């Protein structure tokens, strides 16, 4: 005898990579009488959709208030299918109400009303049947949490299931865009390989039930969340506070999302979560920097960009407490200034560095040196107190002088095959040498390209010893001597250049 049971098509989150919606069939537990389910045990079923039969599984747990048909199904030939694709092809959509005609393990999915049975309205109580969420709309969840106060920072420590974390609009990742100067993002680029490695580990652990992910995800919102001190729960209304910003844990979330696409059991995997409330975007950026520089590494280029933005915001934003070494960098503004130097050289069309510096989170195609190395050299040698460039007090002129310097260098040393000149060794050497070179130019008060070319050419012609070839383009080819220099040798070359600079200007005799 057939039994007719009402259900609904539920959307789980973002579509698969091919655009297929991620859908499941859900049946509230109180209406599941007649379904061949067993708690915590996948039960094989024959699933008929659009007059086509598939092999599927009916799933349930003692924690969930609903039974569901797994999102991964198989055709009779054994080919794996996505339930979302099959339902979509049969004209079913997310939130459609359906009737299931049940005959033992054979279940046929019909649009509501087409089974011949008078439709039973699935009221809002079904949409409220998620575990721990009774009495709330689908956009809300209520979960146990502990309130943690760290100074002015308020955190809620809790755990959430993957299905909640990866649901539509629950979180967003503020990725730093190197091409947008007004961008407010701060996250590094997602490493897909790293996320996939985690996904494989989580999926592998489903059968043995030994998948282990103790590190909490750190989410933040600039809004508030209600905390009930009576039962120690928080109520999250995504329509009001979402999406949460991911301060730490984007690779864990992506890995879990990828794992859930491979095995829908992962959707019930629980993850420890810390949620910070009332945290402005600038504070979220600071906390990302603190977490990823005091506890684990982050790409140096991304770190430099964040420090630069904090320097810009220092006078207009209320910044949270930062570690002293970070705050010193922010207050000095050196990194911010060095970033602007690098951006100027990289974006100016007649610059020898045009398009050659790989900015944080940018593609490396066509570049020769990373932003982190270029900026580090500028901070170390160009923006120091003993470099005359720092006393110009006109930033536009400073950048122009530095550009002229590199134009003079490349006009003499770049014959079209001087690749090493545009790599670490070239940048390190000539940023270091800029100190004595600009001191000498300061005497004549001319920083034009012709003046620099004349002085530099005279200097290079006077270099003696092992590094006399530094003034020849061949020395800077990929196979040339410049590519074999270590940091100590670069210092020695700089010393020889400085001697040659003084030698060229002092002549053969001087009066005491």
What backbone phi and psi angles, to 5 degrees, belong to 15? -65, 165
Give the burial string for 416-443 (b: 16+ CB within 10 Å, else e).
eebbbbbbbbbbbbbbbbbbbbbebbee
More confident residue, 314 or 500: 500
User: pTM of the full predicted structure?
Assistant: 0.45
pLDDT of residue 287: 55
Q: Output the six-digit token pair for 423.
A: 């790599």
Q: What is the DSSP letter of 381?
A: I
Q: 10 Å Cβ neighbour count for 117?
A: 16
Q: Poorest-confidence range of 28-37, 125-134, 224-233, 478-487?
A: 125-134
**Percent of the chain with pLDDT strictly greater than 90:** 23
Can you spell out the DSSP letters for 233-291? EEEEEHHHHPSEEEEE-HHHHHHHHHHHHH-GGGGG-EEEEEEEES--HHHHHHHHHHH
Q: Where residue 144 falls among pLDDT bands split at 50, 70, 90?
A: very high
Q: Is pLDDT at 116 greater than 80 in this prediction?
A: no
Quick check: 136 pLDDT over 90?
no
Identify the weakest region by mean pLDDT among 12-26, 426-440, 452-466: 12-26
The whole-angstrom separation of Cα 284 and Cα 219 is 9
**pLDDT tens digit string along 24-50?**
899 988 888 888 888 777 888 999 998
Q: Helices (H), strands (E): how many in the chain? A: 15, 20
- Write the CA distances from 486 to 200, 382, 421, 492, 495, integer angstroms: 41, 20, 14, 10, 14
DSSP one-letter code for 38:
B
β-bridge partners, 47: 54, 107
In this prediction, residue 403 carries a pLDDT of 93
Q: What is the pLDDT of residue 186?
A: 45
pLDDT of residue 286: 65
pLDDT digits (tens, 9 = 90+) for 170-212: 887 764 444 444 444 444 556 788 888 888 989 888 887 888 8
Whether omega for the bond prior to residue 202 falls within 30 degrees of 0, making it cis, is: no
Positions of E strands within 90-215: 97-103, 106-111, 140-144, 146-150, 153-161, 171-172
Q: How confident is the model at residue 314 (pLDDT cuts 50, 70, 90)?
A: very low
Is residue 167 classed exposed, middle or buried when 0-12, 13-18 and 19+ CB atoms within 10 A define those classes? Answer: buried
Coil, helix or strand at residue 298: coil
pLDDT at 512 over 80: no
Read off the pLDDT band of 454 (50, 70, 90). very high
Query: How confident is the prediction for the chain on average, in pLDDT?
Result: 79
> Residue 102 pLDDT > 70, yes or no?
yes
| Least confident residue range of 107-111, 118-122, 405-409, 443-447 | 118-122
User: What is the distance in angstroms between the CA of the first residue and the CA of the last residue of the chain?
Assistant: 118
180 compared with 359, residue with greater pLDDT: 359
pLDDT of residue 210: 80
Residues 6+ apart with CB under 8 A from 397: none
Q: Residue 490 has what pLDDT?
A: 92
Question: Between the CA of residue 203 and those of 74, 200, 259, 313, 353, what are the distances in Å?
Answer: 19, 5, 6, 43, 46
Map out the domains of the chain with their CATH numbers.
3-127 (2.40.330), 140-279 (no CATH), 325-506 (no CATH)
| CA 390 vs CA 99, 328, 401: distances in Å | 76, 18, 11
The reported pLDDT for the residue numbered 81 is 86
Q: List strand residue ranges (DSSP E) for 285-417, in order.
A: 357-358, 369-370
Least confident of 309-313, 422-426, 473-477: 309-313
């Amino acid at each position: 005898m057939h039994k007719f049971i009402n259900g609904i098509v539920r959307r789980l989150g973002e579509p698969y990579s091919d655009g297929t919606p991620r859908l499941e069939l859900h049946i509230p537990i109180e209406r599941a009488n007649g379904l061949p389910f067993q708690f915590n045990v996948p039960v094989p079923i024959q699933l008929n959709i659009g007059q086509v039969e598939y092999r599927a599984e009916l799933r349930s747990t003692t924690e969930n208030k609903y039974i569901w048909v797994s999102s991964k199904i198989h055709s009779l030939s054994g080919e794996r299918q996505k339930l979302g694709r099959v339902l979509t092809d049969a004209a079913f959509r997310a939130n459609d109400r359906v009737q299931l005609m049940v005959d033992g393990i054979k279940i046929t999915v019909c649009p509501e009303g087409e089974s011949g049975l008078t439709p039973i309205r699935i009221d809002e109580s079904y949409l409220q049947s998620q575990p721990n969420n009774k009495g709330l709309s689908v956009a809300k969840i209520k979960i146990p949490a502990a309130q943690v106060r760290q100074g002015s920072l308020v955190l809620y420590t809790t755990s959430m299931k993957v299905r909640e974390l990866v649901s539509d609009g629950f979180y967003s990742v503020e990725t730093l865009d190197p091409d947008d100067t007004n961008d407010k993002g701060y996250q590094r680029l997602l490493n897909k390989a790293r996320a996939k490695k985690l996904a494989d580990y989580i999926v592998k652990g489903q059968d043995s039930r030994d998948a282990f992910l103790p590190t909490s995800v750190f989410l933040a919102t600039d809004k508030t969340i209600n905390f009930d001190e009576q039962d120690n729960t928080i109520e999250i209304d995504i329509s009001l506070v979402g999406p949460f910003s991911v301060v730490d844990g984007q690779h864990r979330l992506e890995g879990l999302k990828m794992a859930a696409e491979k095995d829908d059991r992962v959707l019930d995997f629980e993850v420890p979560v810390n949620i910070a409330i009332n945290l402005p975007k600038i504070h979220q950026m600071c906390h990302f920097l603190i977490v990823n520089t005091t506890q684990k590494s982050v790409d140096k280029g991304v770190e430099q960009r964040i420090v630069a933005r904090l320097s810009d915001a220092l006078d207009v934003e209320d910044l949270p407490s930062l570690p002293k070494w970070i705050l010193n960098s922010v207050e000095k503004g050196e990194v911010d200034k060095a970033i602007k130097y690098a951006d100027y050289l990289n974006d100016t069309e007649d610059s020898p560095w045009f398009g050659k510096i790989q900015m944080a989170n940018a593609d490396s195609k066509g570049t020769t040196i990373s932003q982190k190395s270029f900026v580090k050299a500028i901070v170390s040698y160009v923006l120091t107190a003993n470099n005359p460039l720092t006393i110009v007090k006109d930033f536009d002129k400073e950048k122009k002088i530095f550009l002229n310097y590199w134009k003079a260098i490349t006009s003499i040393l770049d014959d079209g095959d001087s690749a090493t000149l545009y790599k670490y060794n070239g940048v390190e050497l000539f940023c270091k040498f800029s100190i004595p070179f600009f001191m000498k130019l300061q005497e004549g008060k001319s920083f034009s390209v012709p003046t620099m070319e004349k002085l530099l050419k005279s200097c290079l012609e006077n270099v003696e010893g092992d590094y006399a070839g530094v003034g020849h383009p061949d020395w800077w080819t990929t196979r040339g001597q410049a590519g074999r220099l270590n940091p100590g040798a670069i210092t020695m070359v700089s010393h020889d250049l400085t001697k040659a600079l003084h030698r060229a200007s002092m002549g053969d005799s001087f009066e005491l």
